[in-house]
Amino acid sequence: MEFKPDFIDRLNKAKSLLFFTGAGISAESGIATFRGKDGLWSKLKPEELASFSAFMKNPDMVWEWYQYRREIVEKAKPNKGHLAIAEFEKFYDVNVVTQNVDDLHARAGSTNIDELHGSIVRNFCVDCKTFYNHQEFKFDKKVPRCEKCNGMIRPDVVWFGENLRGNAFPNGEQKAKECDICFIVGTSAIVYPAAYIPITAKQYGAYLVEINIEPTEISYQVDYSILGKSGEILPEIFELAANLKTKKQPNIF
């Protein structure tokens, strides 16, 4: 695959890379995306499933939907895109700021991950906020109860209308300000405040590279838009980077 000369130059000089990822990077692992022709939202309404009010209105239905998605995540494997991102750590400071709630980046070996929208493999009690991992309720078809206070247990994902929790967003923002290249991988870039991450990177001088199978809301703002599957493109970019970073430095004496 041929890459633009200015991108090659940036990749050669870069020290810090940020990968801002969305559901598209997990598509080749068999996990459905949200929007697009066979996305989750084409069959189901997000407000009826991925919101706190939906959970309180119909807890068992929402719980079951997450159990169904957890099973898919558990059976899924990191694909070549996730693995390539982990490999970049050999030559760069790498940060992954993901909107995804699957654990495929961690399972691929990435070590600096901010999960903006939480994680489907974690649960917590709505009342006393005690955390539980999903294995403890693996076979529960109905919303389980907290062993400490009998409150309802919910998935630790950020639902629509909920503030992002913990330090993931501020951490991600700080890393966006410091990165040399911000890769925007497999996201429609319409969910906020997550979609501010690449904008912040651009404001602080990063070179923006989009990897997607189609143009998106953010395509007009990026420096380089590469159309194609992330599982195919990321390994090619890693190979280019490895050649650049390991080529024998010219003998200056």
Work out whether 38 is an interface residue with ligand BV8 (CB under 6 A). no
39 makes contact, choosing from ligand BV8, Zn ion, none, with CB < 5 to 8 Å by partner type, with: ligand BV8
Selecting among 82, 105, 117, 134, the annotated active-site residue is 117
Query: What is the phi/psi pair of residue 181, to 5°?
Result: -130, 135
Q: Retrieve residue 110's tokens.
A: 């990435």
Which C-beta is closer to ligand BV8: that of 195 or that of 241? Answer: 195
186 in contact with ligand BV8 (CB under 6 A): yes
**Region of residue 227 (phi > 0: left; psi between -120 and 50: alpha; otherwise: beta):** beta
> Could you give the C-alpha distances from 235 to 84, 140, 170, 238, in angstroms and in order?
5, 39, 29, 5
Among ligand BV8, Zn ion, none, residue 125 binds (CB under 5-8 Å by kind): Zn ion
Q: How far apart are CA 196 and CA 193, in angstroms?
A: 6
Is 162 a binding residue for ligand BV8 by CB under 6 A? The answer is: yes
- 117 counts as catalytic: yes
- Contact between 176 and 128 (Cβ < 8 Å): no
Is residue 158 at the binding interface for ligand BV8, with CB under 6 A as the rule? yes
Question: How far is 42 from 34, CA to CA, in rounded Å?
Answer: 8
Interface with ligand BV8, residue 172, by CB under 6 A: no
**What residues numbered 60-119 form the site for ligand BV8, per CB under 6 A?**
99-101, 117
d(CA 96, CA 114): 6
Q: Contact residues for ligand BV8 (CB under 6 A)?
A: 22-24, 27-28, 33-36, 39, 50, 99-101, 117, 157-163, 186-188, 190-193, 211-214, 216, 229-230
The residues annotated with a catalytic role in the active site are 117
